Amino acid sequence: MRTWLPLMLVALCIVLAITILLVDIFHQNATIMFENSKTKQMTIVKNIAEAMGGEIHQTKQGLFFFAESGDLKRALQALTDEGISWPLDKLVLSYSIYNSQIIENMIIFDQEPDMILWSLKNKEYSFLSSVSEDAYAKIELWLGGSDHHESYLSITVKNAQGIGVTAMLDLQLMYERMIAPVKLGEKGYALVKNSDGVIIMYHLREQIGVNAVTERQALYPDIKLEMESLTKMVAKQKEGKEGVDVYQSYWWDDEKPKIITKVAAYAPVHIDDGFFIVSAVIDYKEIAALATGGMTKMIILTLLICFTLFTVLVLLISAYLEKNEMKRRNTYLNQLNKTLLTLHENEKLIFHQQRLQNIGTMTSGIAHEFNNLLTPIMGYSALMVESMDPDNFYYDDAKEILLASEKAKAIIQQILLLGNRTTEAVFDYMQASSLIRNTEKMIVGILPPNCKLEVRILDEQSGFYGNVIQLNQVLLNLVLNAVAAIGDRPGTIELVYRKISKAEIGEGFSKSNWETLDPQFGSFGQISITDDGVGMEKEVCEKIFEPFFTTRGDVGGTGLGLSIVQNIVTAHRGVVTVTSRPAIGSCFTITLPLAEEQKPGSGATQRTVGWPSSEKEKLNLLLVDDNLAVLKVLQKSLNRQGLEVYATTDPTEALAMVREHSFTTLITDDYMKGMHGLDLAMKTKLINPKISVILLTGLLRREIVEAEQATIIDRYLLKPVSNDELLSAIRKTIDPNLNKY
């Protein structure tokens, strides 16, 4: 029973799937056939409309030439001068036979229609409606016969002498010739109405001259006709529209019509500025029967075949299940062994990840402790260098200690970048030549043999203010893109740096690029990376910096898209542009504002500008650090500058001091026992909102950057902190003008 239950479920699913598929096929087939039928009907209608319009237009042109012909003038002259009519009779009959076989009567008049000179037949007509009128011809509809169930189209033209000629076209004869032969199913038919909805051509003579909507009820007094659907369709037709509608109507030739569903295609017959309406009507059931008849047989046959195949399939599956029962058990045991091995490997991987996490945490802690050790070393060595005369025997020794501590600071920052993924990017001054050469060292090792790198540095002194890691990534990504553009063929990549003024910036700069550049900068550095690869079309260049846009299909990139490149360059207040030509190559240009040139040297040789005494007297500093050695050296360096400094190792005591004294600046460490520096800063701001806060940290976190943006702190400094850095930060918190980039 366990074996057959799944088989029964599978059988049920297959039957349902096949049924759904067949129903869908049936629906699609019916839709296609219905659309094909509508298209066929519309084609028939348009052909009829075109044929009618051509016949009427041709008759009008022929009648115009007939009215202007010399033969007509001579025949009329014979009629008026001599009273002889046979030349005119012969001429008109000849014209009617050879030019338009649907002309039923012709009338010739002088100036006005009621001044008849001659008529082929003495027949009366009842005016129905005007079709069109212009300077050349007037076209009208008329009804004739004793019961007014005959329709005629009159075309009237005048010659230069004012003689008018009217041709009466027999529309029923036109219907028999052009429309009646068209087969539209068993009971389908075609009809023609004027622009008012009055039937003028139809296979039922008694309905000619009857309005298709408003006057049909009178033909069937014993039946209450439902005309709403037909009325809506005729309203569209009276607007001169074409289309195909499904609507409710009747077979009008039945003795007691019953409402049915019809499909009508209709199109206008344009006659100068007027029109007729041609309709082709077919029974909706006939279309449905065509769609369902063949499909029903196909569905039954398909179900029988599926049932037979399913029976065979069930037998095969049953045998297969019995045969593979032992294999399944063996496979289960093998999978169990593999699962145990996988669990063991995962445990090893988790343990390895935990070790890496612990190493990162330990690295951050060690770096923090080293910062606390380096701060006194840097501070005291800086104080010694500042207080010594350069000729002093120990001056160079103290200077070397200061240089070594600064190098140790840079190494610790690199360790922190590896040990903590959430560390924020730090912007520093860098020489452009140094950035290019460092990038060149990285690139040379990964270039394929077919690519040649040429580096030209046209200015050695200028530099930028930014993050060296991010800019290295930008240059590396652009060079790797150039390698991809070159492909497997030999090629050259040029990496060029030059210093330019704003007036020298070249092509590729749009209005938005110019607006991006800060107007306060007058000189810029330009790094261009040029390749002789496949190049790009203009349309591609316009989209190249959009997120997720790539020209390399599924091959993939380096992981740093050009959208991110643009974001990094924009964050550095610069602009990246591209120029390219297919089969020639591409050139990416990075334009960055130059920072003020900095002279190479240590913190020992960079002196802080002296402060005016008036500024120092206004300052009242509170210094908080739980490391006593760091606290002492910072307090000593600030006191030497003549600043009034209060110091404490206890954050709680610091809060009490803030409540008692009006300090201008709070300088606090980040990690302290009992309270973090950010917490102390927020609580201090609540007590004294005007106080400025400088945070000293060994690890720059996102929270610190966000706190600066939210003005919880005014500045942050990375430990170990030199005396000059701290003094500069204090000055910038009290003088905003010094914060300019």
The domains of the chain are located at 26-298, 428-593, 613-739
Is 613-739 in CATH node 3.40.470.10?
Answer: no
| Kind and range of the H or E run holding 457 | strand 451-457
In this prediction, residue 603 carries a pLDDT of 38
- Confidence label for 354 from pLDDT (cuts 50, 70 and 90): low
Is 26-298 in CATH node 3.30.450.20?
Answer: yes
In this prediction, residue 312 carries a pLDDT of 76
The strand pairing partners of 526, in sequence order, are 498, 591
Q: What average pLDDT does this structure show over 39-54?
A: 91
| Annotation: CATH topology of 428-593 | Heat Shock Protein 90 (3.30.565)
Residue 486's alpha-carbon distances to 241, 495, 545, 584, in angstroms, are 59, 15, 20, 10
Residue 450: is its pLDDT beyond 80? yes
Cα gap 366→71, rounded to integer Å: 122
pLDDT in tens, 86-106: 888 888 888 877 776 788 888
Q: What average pLDDT does this structure show over 716-740?
A: 78
In this prediction, residue 740 carries a pLDDT of 47
pLDDT in tens, 258-303: 888 989 999 999 998 899 999 999 988 888 777 676 666 676 777 7
For the chain, state the CA radius of gyration. Answer: 49
pLDDT in tens, 130-164: 999 888 899 999 999 888 899 999 999 998 888 99
Backbone φ and ψ of 489, nearest 5°: -85, 160
Q: Are 137 and 155 in contact (CB under 8 A)?
A: yes
In this prediction, residue 585 carries a pLDDT of 93
| Residues contacting 99, CB < 8 A, separation 6+ | 59, 62, 66
Cα gap 553→536, rounded to integer Å: 14
Q: What average pLDDT does this structure show over 394-413?
A: 75
Q: Which DSSP string do the residues of 188-207 spell out, in sequence order?
A: -EEEEEETTSBEEE-S-GGG
SS3 category, 374: helix
High-pLDDT (> 70) share of the chain, %? 84
Residue 595: is its pLDDT beyond 90? no
In this prediction, residue 607 carries a pLDDT of 43
In this prediction, residue 202 carries a pLDDT of 92
Q: What average pLDDT does this structure show over 368-396?
A: 79
- Confidence label for 332 from pLDDT (cuts 50, 70 and 90): confident
Backbone φ and ψ of 663, nearest 5°: -80, 145
Residue 620's alpha-carbon distances to 291, 377, 627, 681, 685, in angstroms, are 96, 26, 21, 16, 16
Cα gap 416→367, rounded to integer Å: 7
High-pLDDT (> 90) share of the chain, %? 26
Cis check for the bond before 720: say yes or no (omega within 30 of 0). Answer: yes
Q: Which DSSP string do the residues of 280-319 spell out, in sequence order?
A: EEEEHHHHHHHHHHHHHHHHHHHHHHHHHHHHHHHHHHHH
SS3 category, 222: coil
Residue 381: is its pLDDT beyond 50? yes
Q: What average pLDDT does this structure show over 191-201?
A: 92
Q: What average pLDDT does this structure show over 672-696?
A: 91
Among the residue ranges 343-352, 387-396, 491-500, 538-547, the one predicted with the least confidence is 343-352
Residue 650's alpha-carbon distances to 308, 372, 622, in angstroms, are 89, 16, 12
Q: Are 449 and 500 in contact (CB under 8 A)?
A: no
In this prediction, residue 28 carries a pLDDT of 76
Q: Are 59 and 99 in contact (CB under 8 A)?
A: yes
- Confidence label for 193 from pLDDT (cuts 50, 70 and 90): very high
In this prediction, residue 679 carries a pLDDT of 92
In this prediction, residue 694 carries a pLDDT of 94
SS3 category, 613: helix
| Residues contacting 113, CB < 8 A, separation 6+ | 107, 156, 164, 166
In this prediction, residue 741 carries a pLDDT of 40
Residue 641: is its pLDDT beyond 50? yes
Residue 201: is its pLDDT beyond 80? yes
Q: Counting Cβ atoms within 10 Å, is residue 385 exposed (0-12), middle (13-18) or buried (19+)?
A: buried
Give the residue with greater pLDDT, 396 vs 663: 663
In this prediction, residue 739 carries a pLDDT of 55
Backbone φ and ψ of 456, nearest 5°: -130, 125
The strand pairing partners of 163, in sequence order, are 110
In this prediction, residue 198 carries a pLDDT of 93
Residue 444: is its pLDDT beyond 60? yes
Residue 414: is its pLDDT beyond 60? no
